[in-house]
Structure 1
């Protein structure tokens, strides 16, 4: 069964091109033109990925993204014509897993979607990991602290697993981008920076003074297994 993508895009020309191109890449595409239509569609239909334009009539893409993220960890890729830092970070802070900028290249977009979908699979030798007071069940995709589940998105979970699996060693920013997102961002580190902030807000006792997910200035990040 092909993976199902919900495309939320109000530009008819872009929407038609993406429906055809992503269909040729093997995805089943359902397309809608507004945030309201997207939220209604998601009430009745199951999707694997949402491709979400930020500039929509009515309920804009940021609102839709926050609404979807409040419901669960459905992968979200935001599409924006705005490349400045403020707008990209706003989309990622709203809960998006990844972003692409217009004009879009269908083959690159398909690669981004596949990279997100690969995170559904497990396959690690160490299914049970520990870091500080966190218990991480890799195959189940869940994290617990003192028996209470810590709700992470798939992407936040994958970042945490990569860091904890390194057993205290530094994981460079480039390694994290490659392992989690599956491709090179050519120096654009906004994606990783925002996900690290989001992760810290959920796993640190005090995100402003992290004790678990540590920054190694000039290198990357590491997890202190016993903070």
Structure 2
């Protein structure tokens, strides 16, 4: 049974969320010490984190930033603000997805299922190679020229999908379908943030210009 850590300061919402998760086959782990949230998340060994952005004494972005120094556990941000900047900031710090409150419970569960499907894709090679890049899907790492970088779930998924479609332009809609399964609910900027983060990670090991943008068409791995 998958364990999901819930970091939410609203008691009634936290209780309702725990009940929803339990009713749908997940084990909720309620994190209430927000100043030590990243440590408690690590100790809980959660498979996924639902993380509110606005918290007393701190905020979800700070917790996510600290968590990403230690772990690549999937994180979905919960935000009460329907503002584009909140979504962009959440994704730029390494979140895998986000949902705006008040959220539709069915949509939330679909997003959770989509994240878990991306973590354990069927009939997919766990290691792929292209022009010296070695991608390990199980470890969420990419090696090149003796250097290794750890990628987020979205970053590794984007790189894998582009490698799988090497030599072919992949449209933004196609990538969003692959990443989130429900792109009607995902802001277009979310994909841009993830692509830019992946490019920066590749540049860290000397791979500059590997992902080309083809205007009005999509992306191409070169």
TM over 0.5: yes
Distance in 1, matches of 2:190 and 2:205, equals 22
2:28 match: secondary structure: strand
Cα distance, 1:63 vs structure 2:
0.4
For 1:8, the equivalent position in structure 2 comes to: 7
1:41 match: secondary structure: helix
Gaps of 5+ in 1: none
Gaps of 5+ in 2: none
For 2:53, the equivalent position in structure 1 comes to: 54
For residues 187 and 105 of structure 1, do their structure 2 counterparts lie closer, same or farther at Cα, with a shift above 3 Å needed? closer
Distance in 2, matches of 1:136 and 1:39, equals 27
Distance in 1, matches of 2:208 and 2:26, equals 40
For 1:68, the equivalent position in structure 2 comes to: 67
For 1:192, the equivalent position in structure 2 comes to: 191
Q: Across the two proteins, how many residue pairs are aligned to each other?
A: 222
| Alpha carbons 2:7, 2:49 under 8 Å: kept | yes
For 1:217, the equivalent position in structure 2 comes to: 215
Residue by residue over 1:43-102, the C-alpha shift from the partner in whole angstroms, topping out at 9 and shown as x without a partner, is: 422000000000000121110010111112110000101122212111111111101001
Distance in 1, matches of 2:79 and 2:64, equals 13
Cα distance, 1:38 vs structure 2:
2.1
Cα distance, 1:140 vs structure 2:
4.8
Which deviates more, 37-46 or 16-25?
37-46
Distance in 1, matches of 2:130 and 2:199, equals 13
For 1:180, the equivalent position in structure 2 comes to: 179
Distance in 2, matches of 1:52 and 1:18, equals 12
Distance in 1, matches of 2:7 and 2:21, equals 14
For 2:23, the equivalent position in structure 1 comes to: 24
Cα distance, 1:137 vs structure 2:
3.2
1:83-98 aligned at under 5 Å gives the runs 83-98=82-97
1:77-116 aligned at under 5 Å gives the runs 77-116=76-115
Residue by residue over 1:87-118, the C-alpha shift from the partner in whole angstroms, topping out at 9 and shown as x without a partner, is: 21111111111010010122211111111112
1:171 match: secondary structure: coil
2:69 match: secondary structure: helix
TM-score, length basis structure 1 = 0.89
What value does the CA root-mean-square deviation take over the aligned residues? 2.2
| Alpha carbons 2:38, 2:64 under 8 Å: kept | no
